[in-house]
Amino acid sequence: NAGVTQTPKFQVLKTGQSMTLQCAQDMNHEYMSWYRQDPGMGLRLIHYSVGAGITDQGEVPNGYNVSRSTTEDFPLRLLSAAPSQTSVYFCASSPTQGRGETQYFGPGTRLLVL
Amino acid sequence: AQSVTQPDIHITVSEGASLELRCNYSYGATPYLFWYVQSPGQGLQLLLKYFSGDTLVQGIKGFEAEFKRSQSSFNLRKPSVHWSDAAEYFCAVSSTGRRALTFGSGTRLQVQP
């Protein structure tokens, strides 16, 4: 198993550009989520999904869209990038949405918005 | 709302010395608590977790953590630190509503030879 994969590893955008961060998992996990990591702030939840066709907002959803058309994929879309979205983005998955489940994290995408 | 506090931003220890990383949580019900480690340029990996039973939890890589309800703490310990333990460590609590993790701000561990 490849686990959780994310592409690209690094991206530079100009303000106003759009892009999609890709996340895929091959573990048939029901639950997937996106976090952003900023210095001194830990990881904050952007959006999450409890199954194909079901998504919901997290703590910091503004400026981001998600969809979940398959169990495997959970892309994160930035519609109009802003410098405040410069961050490291992590995708995570777990077998179910249970509270005690271990989250499996991808390697991250480092995004710089100029 | 739940929250997690890691009071130490940066800790330096000598190789072979003992380690304790502090974590305090705020949560109204029985907490589900986790410690994750992030090596440079990598994603997060689970070290250990607690949600019931014995309050002393053993994890991977020789780490353990003790849940103390009276102190709202879940401190991570290791008897003897290795140079490969240099990383950033995150404490987290699992919420009931969004089935997601609320993370502390992290503690960066530096290991001196």
Interval A68-84: pLDDT, tens: 999 999 999 999 999 99
Looking at residue B68, its pLDDT comes to 93
Single out the residue of B27, B47, B60 nearest to residue B89, CA to CA: B47
How far does B95 lie from chain A, in Å, by closest CA? 7
- The answer to which of A12-21, A89-98, A103-112 has the lowest mean pLDDT is A89-98
Dihedral of alpha carbons A27, A11, A89, B39, sign:
positive
Answer yes or no: do B99 and A50 touch at CB < 8 A: yes
* Residue A8 in this model has a pLDDT that exceeds 70: yes
Identify all chain B residues contacting A23, using CB atoms and an 8 Å cutoff.
none
3-state SS string for A34-93: EEEECCCCCEEEEEEEEECCEEEECCCCCCEEECCCCCCECCEEECCCCHHHCEEEEEEE
Query: Which of B98, B102, B105, B108 to mutate: most A Cβ within 10 Å?
Result: B98
Quote the pLDDT of residue B43. Answer: 87
pLDDT score recorded for residue B96: 65
- Cα B23 → chain centroid: 6
- CA A45-B86-A100 angle, to 5 degrees, is 40
CA-CA-CA-CA torsion sign (B92, A28, A5, A65): negative
**A84: number of CA atoms within 13 Å, CB side?**
6
Separation of alpha carbons A41 and A110, rounded Å: 16
Alpha-carbon separation of residue B92 from A9, A10, B105 (angstroms): 25, 26, 9
* pLDDT confidence of residue B97: 60
Check if A67 contacts B (Cβ < 8 Å): no
- Residues of A with Cβ-Cβ distance to B24 under 8 angstroms: none
Interface of chain B against chain A, CB under 8 Å?
4, 9, 32, 36, 41-46, 49, 51, 90, 94-96, 98-106
Residues of B in contact with A48 (CB under 8 A): 98-100
Closest-CA distance of chain B to residue A39, Å: 8
What was the pLDDT predicted at A83? 97
Shortest Cα distance from A9 to chain B (angstroms)?
A: 10
Which residues in chain B land under pLDDT 70? Answer: 96-99
What is the model's pLDDT at position B101?
Answer: 87
More confident residue, B78 or A1: B78
